């Protein structure tokens, strides 16, 4: 009976160690990710009670450092012209602002991803520095594709804040 239990535990333990090794190697095979994003950015309107909903398109590029940590960049274009009220400068017009940010990603588990980083909003009237916070939930698809809904908060330094809801469609390789 002891021998049977020993064999069963040995088989179970060897299976666990091999599966961990496959997971460990799996991320090494797919270090890069590229994705197209579609977002709706919520921007404060001139009246304090209202918000504009701005369509936004994005490109995401990521590089996996290890199983849980990644670095990357997000490039976003808000495809609309609008005016916002800022604390320092009053009302300013934003004409198709372009946002570029460098982010650090941390995977809590297979699906939940947190990210934060620094970026800059470029626009012909005035540029702003921003701090980005993101929460994502990745749905894995066959052949290393994914769909990832996200919630993003952009804290523009000394200016207005926005948040966006959207999703990205990506490929890891």
> In terms of domains, do 15 and 76 share one?
no
Query: Is residue 103 predicted with pLDDT exceeding 90?
Result: yes
> In terms of domains, do 158 and 109 share one?
yes
> In terms of domains, do 24 and 42 share one?
no
Please give the torsion angle defined by the CA atoms of residues 38, 53, 104 and 70, in that order, rounded to the nearest 10 degrees: -20
> In terms of domains, do 43 and 92 share one?
yes
Domains contained in the chain, number = 2
Name the helix (H) or strand (E) containing 141. strand 139-141
Most confident of 38-52, 89-103, 104-118: 104-118
Task: Tell me which residue range forms the domain holding 133.
Answer: 31-172
Q: How confident is the model at residue 28 (pLDDT cuts 50, 70, 90)?
A: confident
> In terms of domains, do 107 and 141 share one?
yes
Query: Is residue 24 predicted with pLDDT exceeding 60?
Result: no
> In terms of domains, do 19 and 58 share one?
no
3-class DSSP state for residue 5? helix
Compute the distance between CA of residue 42 and CA of residue 160 in angstroms, rounded to an integer. Answer: 11
> In terms of domains, do 66 and 120 share one?
yes
pLDDT score of 154: 96
> In terms of domains, do 108 and 79 share one?
yes
Contacts of 153 (CB under 8 A, 6+ apart): 132, 133, 134, 161, 162, 163
CATH number of the domain bearing residue 82: 2.40.160.20
Mean pLDDT of 107-113: 95
pLDDT score of 50: 63
> In terms of domains, do 143 and 129 share one?
yes
Q: How confident is the model at residue 86 (pLDDT cuts 50, 70, 90)?
A: confident
pLDDT score of 39: 96
8 Å CB contact between 78 and 49? no
Q: How confident is the model at residue 91 (pLDDT cuts 50, 70, 90)?
A: confident
pTM metric for this prediction:
0.79
């Amino acid at each position: 009976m002891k021998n049977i239990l020993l064999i069963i535990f040995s088989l179970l333990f060897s299976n666990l160690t091999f599966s961990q090794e496959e997971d460990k190697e799996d991320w090494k095979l797919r270090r890069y990710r590229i994705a197209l994003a579609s977002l709706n950015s919520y921007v404060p309107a001139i009246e304090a009670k209202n918000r504009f909903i701005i369509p936004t398109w994005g490109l995401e590029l990521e590089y996996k450092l290890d199983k849980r940590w990644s670095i990357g960049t997000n490039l976003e274009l808000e495809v609309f012209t609008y005016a916002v009220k800022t604390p320092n400068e009053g009302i300013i017009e934003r004409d198709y602002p372009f946002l570029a940010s460098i982010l650090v990603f941390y995977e809590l588990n297979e699906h939940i991803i947190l990210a934060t980083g620094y970026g800059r909003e470029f626009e012909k009237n005035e540029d702003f520095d921003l701090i980005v916070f993101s929460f994502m939930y990745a749905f894995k698809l066959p052949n290393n594709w994914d769909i990832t809904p996200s919630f993003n908060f952009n804290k523009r330094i000394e200016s207005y804040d926005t948040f966006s809801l959207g999703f990205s469609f990506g490929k890891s390789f």
